[in-house]
C-alpha cells in the first residue's frame, strides 16, 4: 500500500555508525571517552556523548537537506538571545572557530549541554501558570526581532501541501481514497475560513513545536529544548498543544496558562479561534511528515503502525471529528 520507496543504506543517516560519529567528534577536537548513546529523535540524529573529563554533552546531526546554514544559525541566534536574557532554553555551545554550527562530512552539527528533568505535570493549576509565564518570556524576546530565513506559519503548507503529497504519492488505500479526498478538502476550506480576518494575524519568533516532549521540568522550572521547528508564527501555536481533555478542561487550562503568559507578554484572545484549526493542520501535517520520511529506514522500523489500512481509517475518523469541532464556538478564556 502506498509509496514504499526506501533508500536503505543510501540514506545519509545510515552512514552515522559509531565510528563515523567518533570521527566527526574528533574533527571538532572533542575529547571523548567513546561513550555514545542515541537519544529519541527521528527528524535529526541526536546523541549523548561522554567526554574524558567525565561530563556529557548532546550532539545533534541535522537532517541533510531540511534547513540551510542561514536557517539553522537563526535558530541558534534566537536560543542564544533567550539564554542571555535568563530564559531557560537549550542553546548551542560554541565549537571554537566553527561558532555554534559545524559542517563535517556532509552534516551540519551542533552541541548542547545535557539537561535533566521530567515531563511537566500539568494537572496542577500552578504548573499551568508557570508554563504560561515562561512561554510568555520566550515570546517577549521573540517579538524584539524578526527571522529573515526561517519559515512562516502557513496553513497552506501544513494543510493543502500535506494533502497533495499524500495523494500524489499514493499513500491512501484505494477504498479510503475518495473519503480522504473529500474530507480533507472540506477541512482545508473550513480551516482557511477560520484563519480569515480583517486584522492581520500578529506573528513573532516562536518555538514552533512546544509540546511536552520538548519541555524538561526541573526544580519548578520548565526548560525548553529543540527549537528545530522555530518559525515566525502566532503566539497560540506555542500554547494550544498544552490543552487536552474535555472542552471545559481545555478552557480551564487555557485560562491558567494565559494568566501566567500575560505577566510577560500580552496574549490576543482572538487567537483562541485558531486552536481547532491548528489541531487539524497538525494532524494532517503529521501524516505527511511520516510519509515524507518513509525512505529513512528508521521510520518504517519505528512507526510500524503507519501506512496501514487501519492507520488511514483511524486518521480519517480523527479528521471527521475535527470537522465537527471546527463548527463549534471557540474555547472561552475567563481571565
Positions annotated as catalytic residues are 209, 226
d(C-alpha 286, C-alpha 77), whole Å: 27
| Residue tagged 571554537 (cell numbers) | 96
Q: Nearest CA to 170 among 294, 300, 42, 297?
A: 294
3-class secondary structure, 119: coil
d(C-alpha 172, C-alpha 179), whole Å: 10
* Grid coordinates of 80: 542564544
Helices 309-325, 275-292: axis angle to 10 degrees equals 160
Neighbours of 124 (CB within 10 A): 11
Give the Cα-Cα-Cα angle 68, 40, 287 (nearest 5 degrees). 70
d(C-alpha 124, C-alpha 119), whole Å: 13
The DSSP string of 6-33 is --GGGSGGGG--HHHHHHHHHHTT--EE
d(C-alpha 229, C-alpha 237), whole Å: 11
* Grid coordinates of 176: 479510503
Amino acid at each position: 500500500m502506498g509509496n514504499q520507496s526506501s533508500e536503505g543504506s543510501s540514506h545519509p543517516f545510515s552512514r552515522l555508525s559509531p565510528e563515523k560519529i567518533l570521527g566527526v567528534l574528533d574533527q571538532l577536537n572533542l575529547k571523548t571517552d567513546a561513550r555514545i548513546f542515541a537519544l529519541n529523535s527521528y527528524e535529526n540524529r541526536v546523541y549523548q556523548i561522554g567526554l574524558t573529563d567525565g561530563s556529557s554533552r548532546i550532539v545533534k546531526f541535522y537532517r541533510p537537506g531540511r534547513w540551510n546554514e542561514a536557517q539553522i544559525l537563526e535558530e541558534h541566534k534566537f536560543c542564544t538571545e533567550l539564554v542571555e536574557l535568563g530564559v531557560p532554553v537549550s542553546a548551542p555551545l560554541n565549537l571554537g572557530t566553527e561558532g555554534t554550527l559545524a559542517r563535517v562530512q556532509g552534516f551540519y552539527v551542533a552541541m548542547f549541554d545535557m539537561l535533566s528533568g521530567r515531563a511537566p505535570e500539568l494537572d496542577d493549576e500552578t504548573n499551568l501558570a508557570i508554563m504560561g509565564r515562561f512561554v510568555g518570556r520566550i515570546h517577549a524576546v521573540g517579538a524584539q526581532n524578526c527571522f529573515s530565513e526561517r519559515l512562516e506559519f502557513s496553513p497552506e503548507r501544513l494543510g493543502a501541501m500535506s494533502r497533495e503529497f499524500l495523494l500524489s504519492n499514493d499513500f491512501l488505500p484505494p477504498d479510503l481514497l475518495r473519503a480522504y479526498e473529500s474530507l480533507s478538502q472540506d477541512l482545508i476550506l473550513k480551516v482557511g475560513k477560520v484563519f480569515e480576518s480583517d486584522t492581520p494575524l500578529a506573528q513573532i519568533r516562536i518555538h514552533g513545536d512546544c509540546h511536552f516532549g520538548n519541555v524538561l521540568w526541573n526544580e519548578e522550572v520548565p526548560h525548553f529544548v529543540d527549537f528545530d521547528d522555530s518559525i515566525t508564527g502566532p503566539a497560540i501555536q506555542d500554547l494550544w498543544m498544552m490543552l487536552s481533555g474535555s472542552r471545559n478542561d481545555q478552557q480551564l487550562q487555557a485560562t491558567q496558562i494565559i494568566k501566567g503568559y500575560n505577566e510577560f507578554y500580552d496574549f490576543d484572545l482572538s487567537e483562541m479561534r485558531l486552536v481547532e484549526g491548528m489541531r487539524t493542520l497538525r494532524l494532517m501535517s503529521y501524516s505527511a511528515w511520516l510519509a515524507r520520511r518513509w525512505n529513512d529506514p528508521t521510520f518504517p522500523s519505528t512507526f510500524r503502525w503507519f501506512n496501514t489500512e487501519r492507520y488511514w481509517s483511524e486518521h480519517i475518523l480523527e479528521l471527521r471529528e475535527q470537522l465537527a469541532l471546527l463548527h463549534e464556538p471557540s474555547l472561552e478564556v475567563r481571565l
